[in-house]
Amino acid sequence: MTLHFPNDQPQEWLRPTRLLDLDDPKLRIQAMRITQLATTDVQKAVCVHDFIKAMPFGCVAGFDHVTAASVLRAGRGDCHTKGTLLVAMLRSVGVPARLRFVSLPSTFLKGIIDAPHSTTTHAVGEVYLDGGWVQTDTYVADSLLETRAADLLVQQGSLLGYGVHVRGQHFWDGRHAAHAQYHDSDPTSMPVHDWGVAHDPEHFYSHKEHADLALGWLSRAKWMLAAALVNRRVEQVRTQSTPLAGQAV
């Protein structure tokens, strides 16, 4: 089941939510600062994307309850929390934006965590530009992580792992869809289910149709520990060209 919006107009995707705290002064000022030279919505979107991409990737426990301003203060995030910040900053400068949630094969996480499930819920940004919705998730992994991860995958003869796909895109022009975690030339990496769009992670996971995807209290406790391990492993990937022998994650 997916969330449905019968009157799906761009204006619906400009409002604040609890996580999209558009009135936060620092968020608004930062969004205005990084888009001040942009003259079109496409330019604004690319500026915001590049700003968020430059933030280091880092797993966040309780990702479905973290506000955009909190992500900005932390200076790092994952697909859910960086996505929250992307949507909030774009909405604050008048550009409609939202998140699309899909299930990806957990293979893309190989090397940084042993995913216990066959699939992982992934948030993809969608921005309304030039009359249509354009997708991107290329802001999730920072450039250094992408480079190191791609090097490791090539050495291992693998296409997918460490949160990226070797053939994935690293940049976004605001005009074409760009995905870093999967590639259509590799069917085994593609989303296996599209859950639809939502304003933010809280809006998505709190919906009754997605109750099975939400984390219970026990899963949250486990994820708090797992997030620390993932972040440690990600830092190791950033600072080495080959994986440590016998490294467990």
Cα(26)–Cα(37) distance, integer angstroms: 19
Name the one residue in this structure whose structure tokens are 């939502």: 198
How far is Cα 174 from Cα 181, in angstroms, rounded to an integer? 18
- Residue 5 placed within a domain: no
End-to-end CA distance of the chain: 33
Specify if 2 maps to a domain: no
- What pLDDT score does 43 carry? 98
The whole-angstrom separation of Cα 165 and Cα 180 is 6
Going by C-alpha positions, the residue among 196, 183, 67 that lies closest to residue 121 is: 196
In a domain, 1, yes or no: no
pLDDT at 23: 96
Tell me what pLDDT residue 178 has.
Answer: 97
Structure tokens at 225: 């520990």
pTM summary value = 0.89
Q: Has residue 4 been placed in a domain?
A: no
Per-residue confidence in pLDDT tens, the chain, 249 aa: 344 454 579 999 999 999 999 999 999 999 999 999 999 999 999 999 999 999 999 988 777 889 999 999 999 999 999 999 999 999 999 999 999 999 999 899 888 887 666 888 899 999 999 999 999 999 999 999 999 999 999 999 999 999 999 999 999 999 999 999 999 999 999 999 999 999 999 999 887 676 666 555 445 445 566 778 888 899 999 987 554 434 443
Q: Are 53 and 72 in contact (CB under 8 A)?
A: no
Residue 192 class from Cβ within 10 Å (0-12 exposed, 13-18 middle, 19+ buried)?
A: exposed
- State the pLDDT at residue 218: 42
Kindly state whether residue 243 falls inside one of the protein's structural domains. Answer: no
Residue 175 Ramachandran class (φ > 0 left, ψ -120 to 50 alpha, else beta):
alpha
Helix (H) or strand (E) holding 105: strand 97-105
- Residue 207: what pLDDT? 79
Residue 241 resides in a domain: no
For position 81, what pLDDT does the model report?
A: 96
Spatial distance between the Cα atoms of 157 and 32, rounded to a whole number of angstroms: 43
CB atoms within 10 A of CB 241: 10
How long a stretch of residues is the chain? 249
In this structure, what CATH number is given to the domain that contains residue 21? Answer: 3.10.620
Q: What's the total number of domains in the chain?
A: 1
Indicate whether 175 belongs to any domain.
Answer: yes
Q: What is the domain range of residue 212?
A: 10-236
In whole angstroms, give the CA distance from residue 159 to residue 167.
7
